[in-house]
Amino acid sequence: MSGEAAGFWRRFAAAFIDALVVAVVQFILRLVLKDVGLALSIVFSFGYYTYFHGRTGQTPGDAALGIRVVDIDNGEVIGYGRAFGRALVSIASGLVLVLGYLWMIWDKRKQTWHDKVVSSIPVRV
């Protein structure tokens, strides 16, 4: 792992920025394309996180807060497959009373459930 694990509030702020970006695009898609827009907005959301975490390890929110999602063993970007898996498991992290996200608070490596599943960790850069 390269860099110190990013803390809760830094990650929360980055996630908030990304949620705003995704929500605006989803709103526009649903407004303009109606029923098809709903499906496209879901595809966009997964594509957003998969593309940015898979390509550079940073979404715009992560970049603004100085965070990069990397492989926990070698510090490299996790790639598109693992980034997509991370996005999928993040749904489960949120469904159980947000426990999967809060897990990082008491985890010694500060990993959420979706980080653990794909062996990733958000670090400060």
Domain range summary for the chain, segments of one domain joined by +: 8-124
What stretches in the chain show pLDDT beneath 70? Answer: 1-2
CA distance 119 to 125: 18
Question: Whole-model pTM?
Answer: 0.94
Q: Are 86 and 118 in contact (CB under 8 A)?
A: yes
**CB atoms inside a 10 Å sphere around CB 13:** 14
pLDDT at 99: 96
Q: Are 56 and 77 in contact (CB under 8 A)?
A: yes
Tokens encoding 91: 């749904």
CA distance 79 to 115: 13
pLDDT at 1: 60
